[in-house]
Amino acid sequence: MTNEIWNQGIVRELIETNITRRLIPRGLSWFGCMGGLSLVAFIIQLGTGIFLMFYFIPSATEAVASIQKVSHSIPYGWLVHRIHAVGPHVMIGMVLSHMLRILFKGIYRHPRELHWVSGACLLILTLIMYYTGYLLSAVNRSSHSAIPMTFVYALHIAGIPLAMGLFMGMHFFMVRKTGIYEPL
């Protein structure tokens, strides 16, 4: 089946048009990579978050013990936990740098208004994502919290990431459609 698809040339054509034979404008700025870096930071958060999901128990009585188990008993668990805790600072720094570049260079203008709208929504969602993550660790510390931990956890691992995925899809689709900001 895979060979058939390859022989028909669909996959080959996709790879050639998108990667190997693709031409882009010369002299793109290194600062133009900030958007890509934000994506890399998000992927790091996603990877470490999925790892932590296997061990974290979203219950007021067992949450602290589960995180301690990750940090002390699982090989390199402490590193994954630390990356997941510190990563948002780097990610938000990258997103803010990307946004400031777009703002000062006026790249949000026609026909790229919706790039800005989706990007701004992504920034707000990133901040909410950090806040729910913080609430999870705060609920960990105080077992008598008013907000149910399972609700915050569901938001943190499913609700907001799904919304972010939707906006990211929109953002990348529009970037693909209208193209990047070209130097002259």
CB of 76 to other proteins, least distance (A): 12
Rounded (5°) CA angle 101-106-108: 95
What six digits make up the tokens of 84? 């997941």
Report which of 184, 183, 176, 157 is spatially closest to residue 35, judged by C-alpha positions.
176
Contact 160, 129 (CB under 8 A): yes
Main-chain phi, psi angles of 27, to 5 degrees: 80, 30
Q: Does 54 bind other proteins (CB under 8 A)?
A: no
Q: Does 106 bind other proteins (CB under 8 A)?
A: yes
| End-to-end Cα separation, the chain, in angstroms | 45
Helix 77-105 vs helix 34-53: crossing angle, to nearest 10: 150
**25 vs 165, beta carbon nearer other proteins:** 25
Site string for other proteins, 117-156 (x = CB under 8 A): x--xx--x--x--xx--x---x------------------
- Which of 26, 54, 61, 75 is close enough to bind other proteins by CB under 8 A? 26
Binding footprint of other proteins on the chain (CB under 8 A): 17-26, 28, 30, 33, 36-37, 40-41, 44, 79, 82-83, 85-90, 92, 94, 96, 103-110, 112-113, 116-117, 120-121, 124, 127, 130-131, 134, 138, 176-180, 182, 184
